[in-house]
């Protein structure tokens, strides 16, 4: 919410494209972000769920990987068409485009899983931030003692006797 407020203030006080900075007289020198009410901003700006940002270098790497697999497929195809080509080269020529398609599929699944993770983190954060009174009344804060296994009570002498090494003598049966 604070970030939304900061963006709102920055866009509100930003100079218009047609204005000249030298001629504007009412540019605020200092903005007090603590004085901004987030309730007013939440009414005006609907909150969008956080999404995974696709970066340019992700797309570039994906394009390079797909081009590399297509180049390898072309290379294997030309090897297959040559005089010394085998069906193994044909198999690789048909297999490399599937690798390129898998890169695209894997990246799309990665973005989908990241968005699901962000959504579940947001739900978890929202659920832990504002517990309702009915939830707190039903929350169990400790484990029932009858559920846990009972620990054996040993005296110090019994414990020490159990911890002494048991050595075997020569000739003793195992």
- Is 91 a domain residue? yes
- Is 161 a domain residue? no
- Is 14 a domain residue? no
The answer to whether residue 79 scores a pLDDT higher than 90 is: yes
Distance in angstroms between the alpha carbons of the first and the last residue of the chain: 72
Enter the DSSP assignment of 164.
Answer: S
Higher pLDDT, 109 or 52: 109
How far, in Å, CA of 122 to CA of 126, rounded? 6
How far, in Å, CA of 19 to CA of 21, rounded? 6
The structure's pTM equals: 0.45
- Domain hosting 100: range is 68-128
- Is 15 a domain residue? no
Q: How many CB atoms lie within 10 A of CB 62?
A: 17
- Is 166 a domain residue? no
- Is 5 a domain residue? no
Over the stretch 6-27, which tens digit does the pLDDT of each residue have?
A: 444 444 444 444 444 444 444 4
Q: How many domains does the chain have?
A: 1
């Amino acid at each position: 919410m604070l970030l939304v407020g900061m963006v709102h203030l920055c866009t509100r006080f930003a100079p218009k494209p047609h204005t000249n900075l030298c001629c504007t007289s009412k540019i605020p020198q200092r903005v007090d972000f603590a004085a901004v009410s987030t309730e007013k901003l939440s009414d005006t700006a609907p909150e969008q769920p956080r999404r995974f940002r696709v970066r340019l270098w992700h797309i570039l790497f994906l394009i390079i990987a797909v081009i590399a697999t297509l180049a390898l497929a072309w290379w294997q195809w030309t090897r297959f068409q040559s005089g010394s080509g085998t069906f193994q080269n044909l198999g690789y020529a048909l297999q490399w485009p599937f690798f390129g398609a898998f890169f695209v599929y894997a990246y799309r699944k990665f973005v989908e899983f990241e968005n699901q993770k962000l959504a579940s983190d947001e739900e978890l954060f929202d659920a832990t931030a504002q517990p309702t009174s009915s939830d707190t009344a039903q929350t169990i804060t400790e484990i029932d003692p009858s559920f846990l296994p009972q620990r054996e009570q040993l005296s110090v002498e019994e414990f020490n006797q159990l911890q002494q090494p048991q050595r075997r003598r020569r000739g003793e049966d195992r």
